[in-house]
């Protein structure tokens, strides 16, 4: 069962400048940063609030670290902006299977490692009214790095 909006992913050309905009404009602070080599991005998670299921909601700022990454290709086509929405779930495997059974294409056969050691998969945007959708199961007791 999907329990919350885990995060909204925002693609950007300059992670540091984008972080500074969200800090200066809205007061959001960086909760976590990392480079995800598999996805080809450098990212910052800005925590917005805690949620009733023990998780949290974030903005995920994504800067490509190589030109062949999915985010780099998306930026080249669309420019900066909202890249995807992610829903939190206690069981990404079960929810992905249930959604696949409803005819929605799930992009990964098995969930992969996401931000903060989460487990993730994506749903095809053409099956989700044009929205790239991510399913996320947070790592137990995840904290800032």
Catalytic residue annotation: 7, 43, 60, 84, 134
**Distance (Å, rounded) from C-alpha 142 to C-alpha 113?**
13
> Which letter, b or e, does each residue of 89-106 get, where b requires 16 or more Cβ atoms within 10 Å of its Cβ?
beebeebbeebeeeeeeb
Degrees, nearest 5: CA angle 110-107-61: 100
**Distance (Å, rounded) from C-alpha 13 to C-alpha 101?**
37
**Distance (Å, rounded) from C-alpha 51 to C-alpha 136?**
14
């Amino acid at each position: 069962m999907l329990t919350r909006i885990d995060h909204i992913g925002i693609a950007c050309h300059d992670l540091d400048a984008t972080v500074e905009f969200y800090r200066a404009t809205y007061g959001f602070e960086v909760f976590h940063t990392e480079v995800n080599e598999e996805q080809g991005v450098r990212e910052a998670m800005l925590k917005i609030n805690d949620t009733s299921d023990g998780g949290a909601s974030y903005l995920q700022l994504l800067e490509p670290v190589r030109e062949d990454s999915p985010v780099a290709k998306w930026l080249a086509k669309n420019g900066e902006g909202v890249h995807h929405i992610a829903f939190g779930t206690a069981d990404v495997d079960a929810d992905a299977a249930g959604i696949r059974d409803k005819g929605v294409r799930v992009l990964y056969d098995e969930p992969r490692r996401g931000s903060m050691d989460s487990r993730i998969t994506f749903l095809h945007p053409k099956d989700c009214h044009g929205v790239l959708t991510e399913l996320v199961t947070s790592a137990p007791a995840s904290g800032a790095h």
